[in-house]
Amino acid sequence: MSRGDPMEQAGSTEKLQLKVGGMSCSFCVTSITRALERMKGVHNAHVNLAHEEALIEYDPQQITPVQLQETLRDLGYTVRDAAGERTLAEEEATLRRERNNLLLAAGFALLAVIPMLLMWREVLPPSAWPVLRWLMPTLALSTLLGPGWHILTMAWASLRRGILNQHVLLEFGAFAGLIGGFLAYLFPGFPLLDFFAVTVFVTTYHLLSGYTSLLVRTRSSQAVRTLLALVPPTARVVHNGQETEVPIEQVQPGDLVRIRPGEAIPVDGEVVEGRSGVD
């Protein structure tokens, strides 16, 4: 195969390089690495959070690239070819989706915290309790199965592979809140509001942390691409008094590069002749 191809063969081992979307922290990296390396035929899996990439070494006689990609999708992550870059529209669409999930969960959290504050200040009227007995479980289930649904599916995909990560721990806390809340219907001494509120708050917090991480990484990536776009693709190299326009990759240390007024500076260097102003 040609050099630079995302899949390279070396003996009985092939390498598959993929772009993996949806990672938010080092726990995601660990989860993906463990899931891949536990698959029969996978020798090594290297996952990079900053570049959102996975490099997988595998035996093509035992496993296929399609199976590897399906495993990543089953874990709740998006997969695309390593040569493909997400467009600005795709990045903004992802941010909008995650922001909308967060805002919906935050709305549920606000509805849950108001009666709890009134209860703690002992100003909650007794007539409100019948309403709260169905409102609080509704908010808890709506948060968990609505904006938090993708977290639940990712947790289940990890748990059935024997992987304990942040998604699994979150769902443990969320379901503990649900169980405690429903037990309050059988045992009046259980704090119904508090337990159901745990499900709402824990899920909302997880959505907040995921969106914050996604926002920071997306904006940082966009800023780097903007800076790289400022670099001109070619440079004017002077050899023996002759000026030649060459691709920026062909400029070598020691070359003389001519920069005309108004042009972007293509490479780092030392001014040997001329004067000008630079922004």
Give tens-digit pLDDT for 4-42: 444 444 458 889 998 888 887 778 888 899 999 989 999
Which regions in the chain score pLDDT beneath 70? 1-11, 82-85, 279
CA distance 159 to 172: 11
Q: Domain-by-domain residue ranges, the chain?
A: 7-81, 88-227
Q: Are 56 and 18 in contact (CB under 8 A)?
A: yes
CATH number of 7-81: 3.30.70.100
Q: Indicate the SS3 state at residue 193.
A: helix
How do beta strands 42-48 and 53-58 pair?
A: antiparallel
| Intra-chain end-to-end CA distance of the chain, in Å | 45
pLDDT tens digit string along 208-245?
A: 998 998 898 888 888 887 887 777 888 888 888 788 88
What is the DSSP-derived secondary structure letter of residue 249? G
Give every CB contact of residue 186 below 8 A, 6+ residues apart in sequence: none
CA distance 51 to 68: 19
